[in-house]
Amino acid sequence: MAIDWTTFTLEVINFLVLVWLLKRFLYQPVIEVLGRRQAGVARILEEARRVEAEAAERRAQFERRLADWEAEKASLRAGLQAELETERGRQLSALSRTLVAERERQRAQEDHRAAEQRRELEAQAILQARRFATRLLSRLAGPELEGRLIEVFIADLTQPPGDERAGEDRFAGLDLTALDEEGRARIISAFPVAEAQRQRLAAALTARLGRPLPLDWAEDGSLLAGLRLTLGPWQLNLSLADELDAFAQAGNHAG
């Protein structure tokens, strides 16, 4: 088969035309679409990278903030721990002081209770002693003992003031200015007093007081023995019952 030059030339032209046509209607549009799509994909990728970078930045920021929070939390916790330690120490100290005070209070209460018991025992002992002494002296009491007590009273009255041999001066505080002219002295005895002894007692009183006083005599068996002299607001006791009462009261006061 030989080359037909007309066909050869036309085929060259045909192919060149075909190249132009396909470039114009096929390759160019497809390449443009592909390019636009690749540009779109590139934009999306760029946007995705930007979002990723932003997310990474936010994540880093969040982690930094978290670290700051953790540090702050640790600091606050340390501060709170220190405060708790301080508060615990303070409360332990206060508790210790309270315990010491409570112990002191209990000890004081115990001492007070013991003192009360001791005082009560002493009072009971004094009461028992008084009863015992009362029973004993009731059996011993009689006119003779009373007479001796009256003699002791008369001796005390006749003792000059300031004489220390007589012991306590029972009449040091007597003030007869409070008695009016009609003032009377009242003498109570456990047994009837003999007339002679009455006169000696009146004489001793007159000598002691500096003026005579009318005397009213009475008897009271509860005195056991001895007498009780009443001068206005004053009362002088020289009886076993009064002495026992004084003993009991002195014991209570001493307790």
Partner 1 sequence: MESLPALFHLGPLGITATVVTTWGLLLILALGSWLVTRHLSLDQPGLAQTALEGAVQAVDEAIEAVLPGRGGLLLPFIGTLWLFVALANLIGLVPGLSAPTGDLSTTAALALLVFFSVHWFGIRAVGPRAYLRHYLAPSPLLLPFHLLGELSRTLALAVRLFGNIMSLEMAALLVLLVAGLLVPVPVLMLHVIEALVQAYIFGTLALIYIAGGMQSGPEASPATTSPPPAVPVP
Instruction: Note whether 214 and 180 are within 8 A (CB).
Output: no
The CB-side HSE value for 73 (13 A sphere, CA atoms) comes to: 6
How far is Cα 7 from Cα 254, in angstroms, rounded to an integer?
162
| Residue number, 5 or 254, with CB nearest to partner 1 | 5
Smallest distance from the beta carbon of 44 to partner 1, in angstroms? Answer: 12
Smallest distance from the beta carbon of 49 to partner 1, in angstroms? Answer: 21
How far is Cα 232 from Cα 214, in angstroms, rounded to an integer?
12
Residues in touch with partner 1 (CB under 8 A) = 1-12, 14-19, 21-23, 25-27, 29-31, 33-34, 36-37, 40
Q: How many CB atoms lie within 10 A of CB 244?
A: 18
Smallest distance from the beta carbon of 38 to partner 1, in angstroms? Answer: 11
| Residue number, 7 or 81, with CB nearest to partner 1 | 7
Smallest distance from the beta carbon of 26 to partner 1, in angstroms? Answer: 4
Q: What are phi and psi of 175, to 5 degrees?
A: -130, 105
| Residue number, 29 or 192, with CB nearest to partner 1 | 29
| Residue number, 20 or 132, with CB nearest to partner 1 | 20
Question: Partners of 187 in the beta sheet?
Answer: 217, 229
